[in-house]
Structure 1
Amino acid sequence: MSREKLVVIGNGMAGMKCVDEIIRLAPNKFRITVFGNEQHPNYNRILLSKVLQGDSSIDSIVINDWSWYEERGIHLYTGETVAHIHSDSQYVTTLSGIRADYDHLIIATGSSAFIPPIAGVHKSGVISFRNIDDCKTMIEYAKKYKKAAVIGGGLLGLEAARGLLNLGMETDVIHNAPYLMNRQLDRMSSDMLRKELEEQGMRFWLSRETESITGLNRAKGIRFTNGSSLEADLIVISVGIRPNVELAQKSGIDTNRAIIVDDYMRTSKPYIYAVGECAEHRGVAYGLVAPLYEQGKVLAKSICGHISEPYLGSVPYAQLKVSGVEVFSVGEIRPEEAETAIQQFDGIRGTYKKVTMKEGTVRGAILFGDTAEGTTLLGLVKRRAAVAELIAPPSVGGSSANDELAANMPERETVCACNAVNKSAIMCAVIEDGLQTLEQVRDRTKASSSCGGCRPIVAAIVHYSLQHGKGALEAAVPPICSCTDTSHEMLKQYIAANQTSTIHELKTTLGWKSFSGCNVCSSALQYYLELYHPETTIRDRNITAECSFNVDTAPTNPDLISGLHAEFDSVSLRSELQSCCASLLFPAPVKAAITSSIQYPVGILVHDIGITGAPAGWEIYAGGHAEHPVKQGQLIAVAESNMQALALSAALLQLYRENAEFGERMWKWVERAGIIDIREIILDSRCQVELNRRAQLAAAAQQRMEGLGEGICSNR
Structure 2
Amino acid sequence: MKRKKLLVVGNGMAGIRCVEEILKLDPELFDITIFGAEPRPNYNRILLSKVLQGEHSLQDIILNDWSWYEVHGIRLLAGETVRHIDIKSRSVETASGIRETYDALILATGSSPFIPPIPGTDKEGVISFRTVDDCTQMADMSKMYAKAAVIGGGLLGLEAARGLLHLGMDTQVVHNAPYIMNRQLDRTASMMLQRELEAQGMRFNLSKDTTRIVGRTRAQGLRFMDGARLDADVVVLAVGIKPNVELAQRSGLRTQRAILVDDFMRTSEPNIYAVGECAEHRGISYGLVAPLYEQGKVLARVICGREAEPYCGSIPYSQLKVSGVDVFSAGLVSGEDAETAIQHYDAVCGTYKKVTMRKGRVTGAILFGNTNEGSSLLALVQQGAAVSELNPSESRAASTAESAAEALPDDETVCACNGVSKAAIMRAITEHHLESSDEVKAFTRASGSCGGCRPMVDALVKYTRSGKKKEGTHTAVRTQVEVPVCECTVLGQSSLKQAVVHAVDQGCYSISEFMLHQGWKKRDGCEVCRPALSFYFEMEMTGVVNDDERALAIKALDDVSFGGSGSYQGVRVWVGDTEGSNPEAAGILRIGEWLRSAWREVSLPSPVRAGVTAGTASSVSILVQGIGISASPAGWEVYLGGHAEHPVREGQLIGVAEREDDVVQLVAACLQWYRQNSLYEESLWRWVERTGVTAIRENVLDDDLQRELAEKLSRHVWEAQVG
Same fold (TM over 0.5): yes
The secondary structure found in structure 1 opposite 2:127 is strand
Specify the alignment match of 1:99 in structure 2: 99
Query: 2:280 is paired with a residue of what secondary structure?
Result: strand
CA distance in 1, matches of 2:405, 2:413: 12
Q: Provide the rounded CA distance (Å) in 2 between the counterparts of 1:420 and 1:70.
A: 27
Structure 2 counterpart of 1:439, which letter? D
> Distance between the aligned counterparts of 2:92 and 2:436, measured in 1?
46
Conservation of the 8 A alpha-carbon contact between 1:3 and 1:28: yes
Per-residue CA deviations over 1:69-104 (Å, capped at 9, x if unaligned) read: 011111111111101000111000011000010000
**SS, match of residue 76 in structure 1:** strand
Note closer, same or farther for the CA distance 1:180–1:396 as it changes in structure 2 (3 Å cut). Answer: closer
Query: 1:219-234 to 2 correspondence within 5 Å?
Result: 219-234=219-234
- CA 1:68–1:226 in 2, change beyond 3 Å: closer, same or farther? same
Note the residue ranges of structure 2 that are not aligned, 5 or more in a row: 475-723
| C-alpha distance after superposition, 1:201-255 (max 9, x if no partner) | 0010000011111111211111111111111111100001000000000100000
Counterparts of 1:110-509 in structure 2, within 5 Å, are 110-392=110-392, 401-467=400-466, 469=467, 471-472=468-469, 475-476=471-472
Q: 3-state DSSP class of the match of 1:140?
A: helix
Match of 1:597 in 2: none
- Deviation digits for residues 457-506 of structure 1, max 9, x if unmatched? 11111111111x2x43x53379xxxxxxxxxxxxxxxxxxxxxxxxxxxx
**Helix, strand or coil at the partner of 2:319:** strand
TM-score, normalised with respect to structure 2: 0.64
Q: What whole-Å deviation, never above 9, does each CA across 1:350-393 have from its counterpart, x for those lacking one? A: 00000011111101111111112111111100000111111157
- Partner of 2:336, secondary structure, is coil
Look up the SS of the partner of 1:67 in the other structure: helix
Q: Which residue of structure 1 aligns with residue 85 of structure 2?
A: 85
Q: Letter of the 1:462 partner, please give it.
A: V
Distance 2:401 2:266 in 1: 42
How far, CA to CA, are the matches of 1:400 and 1:333 in structure 2? 23
Structure 1 counterpart SS, 2:199: helix
- Whole-Å Cα distance in 2 between the matches of residues 477 and 287 of structure 1? 33
Q: CA shift at 1:335, angstroms? A: 4.1
**1:245, 1:258 within 8 Å by CA — same for their partners in 2?**
yes
Paired with 1:326 and 1:357, the residues of 2 have a C-alpha distance of: 23
Distance 1:477 1:366 in 2: 23
How many angstroms does 1:400 deviate by? 5.1
Summarize the Cα distance change of 1:37–1:396 in structure 2 as closer, same or farther, 3 Å threshold. Answer: closer
**How high is the sequence identity, in percent, across the aligned residues?**
62
The question of whether the paired residues in 2 share the 8 Å contact of 1:396 and 1:404 is answered with no
User: Shift of residue 275 of structure 1?
Assistant: 0.2
Q: CA deviation at 1:14?
A: 0.2
Q: What count of residue pairs does the alignment treat as equivalent?
A: 474
**Given the superposition, is the C-alpha separation of residues 297 and 359 from structure 1 closer, same or farther in structure 2, using an over 3 Å criterion?**
same
Question: What is the letter of the counterpart of residue 237 of structure 1?
Answer: L
CA distance in 2, matches of 1:324, 1:134: 22
Instruction: Give me the whole-angstrom Cα distance separating, in 1, the residues matched to 2:63 and 2:434.
Output: 21
Measure the CA separation in 2 of the matches of 1:16 and 1:150: 31
The answer to whether the 8 Å contact 2:85/2:247 transfers is: yes
Aligned to 1:53: 53
CA RMSD of aligned residues (A): 1.5
Distance of 1:400 and 1:29 partners within structure 2: 50
Cα–Cα, structure 1 residues 395 and 185, in superposed 2: closer, same or farther, change >3 Å?
closer
- Residue 360 of structure 2 contacts residue 387 of structure 2 at CA under 8 Å; is this kept in 1? yes
Runs of 4+ more than 2 Å apart? 392-397, 474-478
Separation in 2, partners of 1:394, 1:48: 37
Does the 8 Å CA contact 2:410/2:473 hold for their aligned counterparts?
Answer: no
Is the CA contact (8 Å cut-off) linking 2:84 and 2:92 kept in structure 1? Answer: yes
Shift of 1:337: 1.6
Q: Contact 1:179/1:187 (CA < 8 Å) preserved in 2?
A: yes
Pairs within 5 Å for 1:525-540:
none
Offset of residue 431 of structure 1 = 2.3
Residue 396 of structure 1: how far off its partner (Å)? 11
Asked if the contact 1:155/1:320 (under 8 Å) is kept, the reply is no
- The secondary structure found in structure 1 opposite 2:162 is helix
Change (3 A) 1:306 1:67: same
Q: What TM-score do the two structures reach when normalised by structure 1?
A: 0.65
Q: What letter is aligned with 1:415?
A: V
Secondary structure of the structure 1 residue equivalent to 2:143: helix
Unaligned runs of 5+ in 1: 479-716
Distance 2:231 2:396 in 1: 53
Q: What letter is aligned with 2:103?
A: D
Question: Per the alignment, in what secondary structure is the counterpart of residue 362 of structure 1?
Answer: strand
Contact 2:344–2:353 under 8 Å retained in 1: yes
Q: Give secondary structure in 1 for the equivalent of 2:355.
A: strand
Report the secondary structure of 2:64's partner residue: coil
Q: C-alpha distance in 2, partners of 1:439/1:22?
A: 25
Give the structure 1 partner of residue 483 of structure 2.
none
Compute the displacement of 1:394 (Å): 5.1
Whether contact under 8 Å (1:395, 1:404) holds in the other structure is no
